[in-house]
Amino acid sequence: MSQQHPVRSTASRPARPDASMSLLTNVMDHSLDDGYAEAAARRGAEGRSGLPRTMRAKLWLAAGLVLAALVVTVGAAQARITAPTIAKEREELIKRIEDGTHDADVLQKRVDALREDVEARQRKALEKHGGDKGEVTGLLSGAFPVHGPGVKLVVDDAKDTQDSDTGGPRQSSGFSDTGRVRDRDLQRVVNGMWESGAEAVSVNGQRLTSLSAIRAAGDAILVDNKPLVPPYTLLAVGPGQKLSTAFQDSADGQYLHVLQENYGVRTSISTQDDVRLPAAPSLTVRNAEPVQTGEGSTS
């Protein structure tokens, strides 16, 4: 009889009853996600260090505030230390400025006194050595103060200084007219006074000589580099009514009339019984010629 060997079953292990629910099984087997596990591990490490994160942040903030307070305190202490030094330097600077101003004032007074002395000596020399023409020369040069009958002419800007489109003697200059008195206007008026017979002329108290210059600096008028402001008052020593009539009938007097009519420049002229003009503020001798006083001698 043949011996029969048992036959091993090669059938697979029977399937689990929950095989069809693999996702639910995985969730049950792995209740914590890997990210949660890592976070839990970090919290555990922080717990072992003894300080939670919020506490460490507060400590860092407190340290920063302490450092800032320390910097402010040190700065305030340095400011208190240096304040007296700065105040002392300021007082010394103020004193130096005051001393310099005082010295400048003293020097200016000396300059004025010396200038007056020089002018007085020039006048005396002119009176002594000028001969018969000394008085006339001193009058024309402005070396002597003068007074006598004459005229007073006042020239002022127009009330309305807007641009004017009317034609007139000033249109060719190329400047926009605003009714202001220009330096060239004042030049013509002064020259007209001389031509009409004036013996001496001043503008706003400034005595004019043959070397005087009337110029402009912007809208300002300069006479011998001194600025004048309107109204411009011209005083002229001469034969009163005759001088006034001669000026108004002259070409320069008519020019002034046109300025009044076309641009609103205000003018007024009147005769004066006694006009007083000061001497010129300074005289500069540019050249001289010897005068024969005798044979073989000069002075």
282-299 confidence digits (pLDDT tens): 666 566 566 565 544 433
82-98: b (≥16 Cβ within 10 Å) or e: eeeeeeeeeeeeeeeee
Q: Do 221 and 186 form a contact (C-beta atoms < 8 A)?
A: yes
Q: Is the pLDDT of residue 251 over 50?
A: yes
Tens of pLDDT, residues 111-142: 888 877 877 787 777 667 666 666 666 666 77
Question: CA-CA-CA-CA torsion for 257, 262, 264, 267, nearest 10 degrees?
Answer: 0
At 169, the pLDDT band (50, 70, 90 cuts) reads very low
pLDDT at 207 over 80: yes
What are the tokens at 116?
């007056």
**pLDDT exceeding 70 applies to what percent of the chain?**
65
Highest mean pLDDT among 79-93, 115-129, 252-266: 252-266
Q: Is the predicted pLDDT of residue 191 greater than 90, yes or no? A: yes
Least confident of 101-105, 228-232, 294-298: 294-298
Strands, E, within the chain: which ranges?
146-156, 200-203, 206-207, 214-217, 220-223, 226-228, 232-237, 266-277, 292-294, 297-298
Question: In terms of CATH architecture, what is 146-167+177-277?
Answer: 2-Layer Sandwich (3.30)
Alpha-carbon distance of 77 to 224, in angstroms, equals 59
pLDDT (tens digit, 9 = 90+) per residue, 38-47? 666 666 655 5
Tell me what the mean pLDDT of segment 217-228 comes to.
86
Q: CA dist 229 to 86, 157, 267, 289, Å?
A: 44, 10, 15, 39
Q: Where are the domains of the chain?
A: 146-167+177-277
**Tokens at residue 242, please?**
């005759």
Lowest-confidence segment of 130-139, 158-167, 223-232 by average pLDDT? 158-167
Give 234's strand partners.
153, 203
Token duo for residue 106: 């003293």
CB 299 within 8 A of CB 293: yes
